[in-house]
Amino acid sequence: MIHNKRLLALALSGLVGIAQAGEKEELLKLRNTTTNLIKQLVKQGVITENAAEQMIKQAEADAETQVAVGKAAAATREAVPADEVRVAYVPDFVKDEIRQQVRSELREEVVGDVMAKAKNEQWGLPNALPEWTKRFKLSGDLRLREQMEFNAADNALRGYQNYQAINDRGGTTAAAANSEQFLNTTKDRNRMRERFRLGIDVNIADGVDAGVRLATGNIRNPTSTNQTLGNYGDRYEFRVDRAYLKYDALDDNKFNWLTLTGGRIANPFYTGGSELVWDEDLSFEGVAGTVRHRFGASSGSLDEIGAAGPTIFATAGAFPLQESGLSTHDKWLFGGQTGLDWEFSNQDNLTMGVAYYDYRNIQARPNTNQAGNFQCNLNNADNTFSKPDYMQLGNTLTTICNESGSTPFLGAAGLAGDYNILNINAAYDTALFAPVHVRLSADYAKNIGFNLNDMQRRYRDLLPFGGVLNGTTLKAQTTAWQVRADVGWTNVALPGNWSVFTAYKYLQRDAVLDAFTDSDFHLGMTNVKGWMIGGNYGLMKNVWLTGRWLSGDIITGPRYGLDIVQIDINTRF
């Protein structure tokens, strides 16, 4: 084998001096492409930045050595007269050996290529897998969680009524009979929980996809897909969490400039990873569209890797929240957002968005029949329909109606204020210490739809039977903000990869709708403040461990401090 290779090298040595006109340009392109690929490996965490620098330096040193050796050989080579042409003589037996060697090596490569193609295209197995099966993609994840909840020792006893339970039971009396009138503020709790999600995506046509995702969890809670263990072996609920159509339009450079989605869809708005306004498990029902524009010409070459430049985007959506055939005041959410996504040449990234969310017809419509003491059995369709379908706790509430009887116990409660939310969030990710990234993010929300004069006018006739609930005076508490820092690998689903994070949150009572905010921090309440700290560690491919400690307390009102510790084992496939 070695002898044959030497013969082949001898025969081809005569071609060394033949240089094509574009050889220098091609070498420069090859050098630039190789450098960009090495930088991309650094960004993905495959190699360190120091290793990349050493690879580039070593390649340059080897190239300089080879050039010097070539020049020395050329200098010692005998000069050929201008009128003389020399052709290297290759004996016939050498030519025969070269042919046999090349034929043998090519045969092995061709056979390998043919076998691989046969396996991929399933030769000899006609209709074993129909063509339509190739358009389906299956994915999912499973998370096991241990959740420990520790109430502060000086929490107020029965300081907070469970208005969701009161609405569900049909009044305070029934909720009290089922021991659900008040939230638990004194007894610690330990829960084992599980989340399983299974998604199926299918390509229908060029640019058109459909998707379905099934998930565990309580169907009444839109912000959580967790299933609490300990139901005497009762089977879990497993329902449709998403079902949607999506259209993606690409330009000539494969840039996705338009996305349209409809059905039960993922959150179409940029959040920067914050759950101040939207819980990460929340799905939206309705239609949404996003249009994007990237500045600067794009050639689609490897030279653009790691330096995509600025891209602006705009998203708009319309989402029905609650529909009724008996009321003309269907509840809606309309949202719009514009933002910037900028990837710099040093692989840093800046993303920011400004959004406005407008809720329609979600305020309570109280029963004003004073002659009947505002009793719920005298409600019209609008009164009953104005009850929120789901609440966590924290927003300012008012009486919709009272129970029947001489004592005016609360029969149903609804949202006192309107919610038109201005939301600004931004995140900066630096790859200066790649593969370890440092990411800083901030989120700000302001409910500019909260109108004190309007609320006082709406509910003044309810006193003394109702008025504003939650034990608070009527005043604006409409601001929320959060800051967060993440350090570590961007992908923790690989062995040994890690990340740590910390955040501080300040969320006033009516800054956001409590139904859709983070369901983990203080169990989904607004009117809370506190911090969070945690980390992730990759155990093996697609398996990682997460630990979090969330500590929150009430901003105004009776004391309700709550610490939550979560330990998760996460998998995905």
Mean pLDDT, residues 479-490: 98
C-alpha count within 13 angstroms, C-beta hemisphere, residue 409: 16
Phi/psi at 416 (5° precision): -80, -35
User: Pick from 69, 85, 105: which residue ends a domain?
Assistant: 69
Mean pLDDT confidence for 263-269: 98
Least confident of 32-41, 406-415, 460-469: 460-469
d(CA 331, CA 295): 39
- 409 lies in the same domain as 265: yes
pTM of the predicted structure, to 2 decimals: 0.77
Range of the domain at 34: 24-69
Q: What is the mean pLDDT of the chain?
A: 84
Given this model, what pLDDT does residue 437 score?
Answer: 96
Kindly state the tokens that stand for 445.
């929300």
Least confident of 109-123, 216-230, 322-336, 440-454: 109-123
> pLDDT at position 13, please?
45
Please indicate, yes or no, if residue 104 is contained in any of the structural domains.
Answer: no
For the ranges 126-130, 190-194, 328-332, 336-340, the lowest mean pLDDT is seen at: 126-130
- Comparing 83-92, 115-124, 500-509, the range with the smallest average pLDDT is 83-92
Q: Is pLDDT of 135 > 80?
A: yes
Residues 254 and 367 in one domain: yes
Are residues 250 and 207 in contact, defined by beta-carbon separation less than 8 angstroms? yes
What's the rounded mean pLDDT across residues 497-507? 98
116 within a domain of the structure (yes/no)? no
110: pLDDT strictly greater than 90? no
Total count of domains within the chain:
2
* Rounded Cα–Cα distance for residues 304 and 114 (Å): 35
Higher-confidence residue of 564 and 42: namely: 564
Sign of the alpha-carbon torsion through 359, 360, 361, 363: positive
Same domain (yes/no): 453, 334: yes
482 in a domain, yes or no?
yes
Which whole number is the average pLDDT over 345-350? 91
Query: 150-206: per-residue pLDDT in tens?
Result: 999 999 998 899 999 999 999 999 999 999 999 999 999 999 999 999 999 999 999
**Do 153 and 35 share a structural domain?**
no
Nearest in space to 262 (alpha carbons), one of 245, 248, 242: 245
C-beta neighbour count of 428 within 10 angstroms: 16
38 and 173 assigned to the same domain:
no
In a domain, 89, yes or no: no
Q: Is the pLDDT of residue 400 over 60?
A: yes
* Position 425 in a domain: yes
Rounded-to-integer distance, Cα 11 and Cα 8, Å: 5
Could you tell me if 29 and 157 lie in one domain? no
pLDDT band per the 50, 70, 90 thresholds, residue 70: low
- pLDDT > 70 in the chain, percent: 73
Task: Please identify, among 16, 46, 69, the residue that sits at the C-terminal boundary of a domain.
Answer: 69
Q: How confident is the model at residue 94 (pLDDT cuts 50, 70, 90)?
A: low
Residues 378 and 305 in one domain: yes
Q: Rounded to 5 degrees, what angle do the CA atoms 156, 160, 162 make?
A: 145
- Strands 208-216, 227-228: pairing is unpaired
**Within this chain, do residues 34 and 141 fall inside the same structural domain, yes or no?**
no
Do residues 544 and 410 share a domain?
yes
Mark whether 47 and 194 lie in a shared domain: no
Q: Is residue 92 part of a domain?
A: no
Residue 214 has pLDDT above 70, yes or no: yes
Calculate mean pLDDT across residues 465-477.
Answer: 62
427 lies in the same domain as 536:
yes
The whole-number pLDDT of residue 143 equals 98
CATH number at residue 530: 2.40.160.10
* SS3 assignment, position 400: strand
Six-digit token string for 341: 């996504």
On whether residue 103 sits in a domain, the answer given is no
More confident residue, 286 or 159: 286
- Check residue 451 and give its pLDDT: 86
Helices (H), 266-371: none
Q: How far apart are CA 482 and CA 420, in angstroms?
A: 19
pLDDT at 18 > cutoff 50 = no
Supply 474's token pair: 């009527």
Assess if residue 420 is contained within a domain: yes
pLDDT, tens digit, for every residue of 507-563?
A: 999 999 999 999 999 999 999 999 999 999 999 999 999 999 999 999 999 999 999
Final residue in a domain of this structure, among 15, 49, 69: 69
pLDDT of residue 572: 96
Q: Do 60 and 146 have their domain in common? A: no
Say if CB 544 and CB 490 are below 8 A apart.
no
388 cis-preceded (ω within 30 degrees of 0)? no
- pLDDT for residue 475: 79
